[in-house]
Structure 1
Amino acid sequence: MLPDALAARWHALTAPLLPAAAPRQAELQRLAAAYSAPERHYHTLGHLENLLHQVARFPLQDAAVVELAVWYHDAVYHALRSDNEEKSAEWALAFLAQTTLGPARAARVADLIRRTHDHTQPQPPADADLLLFLDADLSILGAPAAAYWAYARQVRREYRLVPDLLYRPGRRKVLARLLEAPVLFHTPALRAELDAPARRNLAAELAAWERGGLPAE
């Protein structure tokens, strides 16, 4: 079920861009249905709420653009596909074409979404909004251990069609790549808050997979 506070936040964000309530409500229902799909366990409305909370903690140069990117960044999510970010960006652009946002800012929303495809790639060091958005998307890595293990299990359930024989080496590769990244969090405040626990969590999960699998709940 879509929380009332989340719906209110959507309408506060989009009403200045699209005064007509009906298309805004219809789009909200589409997004809520996508994030609530039964095959999703981590990439849900809860993940969306966490990102909105994280980006709201810090000043932004263009808060509307960043929040729109948050809403759409996992609008399309199929665990076994590699084009989720592109499809999510296309969905965002289709809606934003109905609004007064303007093509340059709409393109910026799409670019932010596309950049979530690989968090280990170098990013423009002066793009504060982008860096905060990416850090927010990774913030679960630095969560308390219990929340992190819940996340790890949720991601595994999203890949439930992949047997452990194949999932284990793939997940180990992802974890190792994150651990090897010299910078996980670009925003100084989030780096100070999350980097050390994130690396502990990643190392613990990697060790678990090297032993054979995630610990029981």
Structure 2
Amino acid sequence: MTVLIDPPVWPAHGTHFSHLVSDVSLLELRAFARAAGVPDRAFDLDHYDVAAARHDELVAAGAVPVAGMELARRLVASGLRISGAERAGSKRAPMLARWDASCPTTPGRTAGEGAGEAAREAAGEVAWHAVGEALDERWREPHRTYHTAFHLFTALEALDTLLSDAAASGAPVPGDVAWHARVALWFHDAVHDGSTPADEEASAALARELLAPLTGVAPRSAAEIARLVLVTAAHDPDPGDLAGSLVSDADLAVLGGTPAAYARYTHQVRAEYAHVPDPLFRRGRAQVLGGLLAAGDLFRTPWGKARWHDDATSNLGAELRDLAGPA
């Protein structure tokens, strides 16, 4: 076990905080934290924030005290660190700004004239923002280590990349299709208890529930967004389903990352299922990865295939070999 803790020098909430990290695995870190009574809500993507009053107790429980610079160096070397730029992009304020920017001024909203219409549109923006706040809270639930606001951020970034590539290829994605895909990504793992397809079904139901009362969202749009959420259960959109293909590709883009980024992703997934015994997790994970490879095309848009297919196939194959080896 290599769990590290630095001195409590970070001021917040009337005290000072230490960082608790592992330079081996997030699963090890989560197991140590839970055994020591550190709540899941103290986890922040790659570390736990722990108050000064607990520092000595955690050292006594086995955490190795190191200087702050040493802790940072070893976290970076482990490959588990979330960079400052990545962390900044997935913070609450920029994420809500992204959500607000997608307020439906085109799909479902009728441009009107006069003060009455302007007031209704302003009220619609307030209601839209409230839905974004509710979704953001869900993505930050403390039991998550992979299906976090960081995953949502990277999926939205991947969608932007796909849309940019489509435009550069001379085949821009229609605005309503892009909008439906973007909003569906916000909902696609809004409910996450670790059960497929129940999570996707519950997330789709949440989309219908939260979008239906919004005057700016047409019923057909709410239904389409719920449908797109369900696509992420099997990642098998029908041929010709451009919106479904965009959502599926953006959600799976992490598979086509660099080997280091992919390894970090696997640690995040394993820690999220810390309650599952290792042999059972390895079998289940191998079945999921084998199913993805057996399905043929991991990515359904031409832009996703060009960007991520080869790296994703290599990453999945390497992980499957690791899963088949000794625990």
**TM-score in same-fold range (> 0.5):** yes
- 1:77 aligned to 173, 182, 192, which one? 192
* Structure 1: runs of 5 or more not aligned: none
* Structure 2: runs of 5 or more not aligned: 1-89, 110-120, 164-171
Cα distance, 1:35 vs. partner? 0.6
Cα distance, 1:15 vs. partner? 6.2
Moved over 4 A (4+): none
DSSP 3-state at the match of 1:161: coil
Cα distance, 1:2 vs. partner? 3.4
5 Å-filtered alignment, 1:81-120, equals 82-99=197-214, 100-119=216-235
- 1:23 aligned to 120, 127, 134, which one? 127
Residues 194, 15 of structure 1: alpha-carbon distance in 2 compared, 3 angstrom cutoff: closer
TM-score by length of 1: 0.90
Q: Are the counterparts in 1 of residues 96 and 133 from structure 2 also a CA contact under 8 Å? A: no
Residues 82, 128 of structure 1: alpha-carbon distance in 2 compared, 3 angstrom cutoff: closer
Matched, 1:206 2:281: no
Aligned position for 1:12:
101
Q: Partner amino acid for 1:103?
A: P
Residues 15, 135 of structure 1: alpha-carbon distance in 2 compared, 3 angstrom cutoff: closer
Structure of greater Rg: 2
Distance 1:111 1:26 in 2: 22
Distance 2:92 2:133 in 1: 12
Q: Are the counterparts in 2 of residues 54 and 136 from structure 1 also a CA contact under 8 Å? A: yes
Distance 1:51 1:81 in 2: 19
Percent of matched pairs sharing the same residue: 37
Distance 2:309 2:100 in 1: 34
Aligned position for 2:146:
42
Residues 138, 91 of structure 1: alpha-carbon distance in 2 compared, 3 angstrom cutoff: same
Aligned position for 1:134:
248
Aligned position for 1:124:
238
Residues 80, 87 of structure 1: alpha-carbon distance in 2 compared, 3 angstrom cutoff: closer
Deviates more, 1:179-188 or 1:2-11: 2-11
Deviates more, 1:110-119 or 1:3-12: 3-12
Cα distance, 1:42 vs. partner? 1.0
Structure whose residues are more often strand by fraction: 2
Matched, 1:66 2:181: yes
| Paired residues, number | 211
Cα distance, 1:180 vs. partner? 1.8
| 1:30-73, Cα deviation, whole Å (9 max, x unpaired) | 21211111111111111111121122231432222111101111
Q: Partner amino acid for 2:137?
A: A
Q: Are the counterparts in 2 of residues 141 and 148 from structure 1 also a CA contact under 8 Å? A: yes
Cα distance, 1:25 vs. partner? 3.5
Q: Are the counterparts in 2 of residues 80 and 159 from structure 1 also a CA contact under 8 Å? A: no
Q: Are the counterparts in 1 of residues 145 and 268 from structure 2 also a CA contact under 8 Å? A: yes
Distance 2:202 2:292 in 1: 24
Aligned position for 2:91:
2
Distance 1:19 1:93 in 2: 22
Aligned position for 2:267:
153
Distance 1:87 1:165 in 2: 28
Q: Are the counterparts in 1 of residues 282 and 323 from structure 2 also a CA contact under 8 Å? A: yes
Q: Partner amino acid for 2:294?
A: E
Cα distance, 1:94 vs. partner? 1.2
